[in-house]
């Protein structure tokens, strides 16, 4: 049913639907950020589900919490993972999005790891 991101034409700009909805309901997204839905549904346009995310690729920085070789997470990513979880995204969806293991995501969300990150 849902093939992917809705695309809306605005003049000559092709915007993805989530960016369009964010602009319409919330405002201009900060430069260098992209809009995604916290519920992880690609076509979701509910304003309360729209979240901004940094556009740059996920950093590969190794920090505390990175004892697990799969962990290549930054403080920012950890905060983002917790925000997604709070927004109702599933552990599995978050793990896929951040290219880490579900166990890792679960530990982060339950604050078993990265306990120093608010």
Which residues lie near Zn ion (CB under 5 A)?
Answer: 37, 39, 44, 46, 49
State the Cα–Cα distance between residues 26 and 117, nearest whole angstrom. Answer: 28
Q: How far is the CB of 90 from Zn ion (least distance, A)?
A: 13
Q: How far is the CB of 47 from Zn ion (least distance, A)?
A: 10
Q: Are 35 and 29 within 8 A, CB to CB?
A: yes
* Residue closer to Zn ion (CB basis): 49 or 85: 49
* Residue closer to Zn ion (CB basis): 81 or 89: 89
State the Cα–Cα distance between residues 75 and 64, nearest whole angstrom. Answer: 9
Q: How far is the CB of 104 from Zn ion (least distance, A)?
A: 24
- Sign, CA dihedral 61-64-67-73, equals negative
* Residue closer to Zn ion (CB basis): 44 or 105: 44
The separation between CA 101 and the C-alpha centre of its own chain, rounded to angstroms, equals 15
* Residue closer to Zn ion (CB basis): 87 or 103: 87
Q: How far is the CB of 84 from Zn ion (least distance, A)?
A: 12
Helix 102-109 vs helix 75-86: crossing angle, to nearest 10: 80
């Amino acid at each position: 049913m849902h093939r992917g991101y809705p695309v809306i034409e605005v003049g000559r700009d092709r915007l993805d639907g989530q960016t369009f909805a964010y602009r319409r309901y919330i405002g201009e997204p900060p430069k260098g950020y992209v809009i995604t839905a916290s519920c992880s549904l690609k076509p979701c346009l509910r304003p309360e589900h729209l979240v901004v995310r940094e556009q740059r690729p996920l950093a590969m920085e190794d920090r505390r919490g990175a004892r697990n070789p799969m962990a290549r997470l930054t403080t920012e990513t950890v905060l983002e993972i917790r925000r997604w979880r709070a927004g109702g995204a599933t552990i599995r969806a978050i793990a896929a999005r951040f290219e880490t293991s579900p166990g890792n995501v679960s530990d982060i969300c339950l604050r078993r790891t990265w306990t120093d990150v608010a």
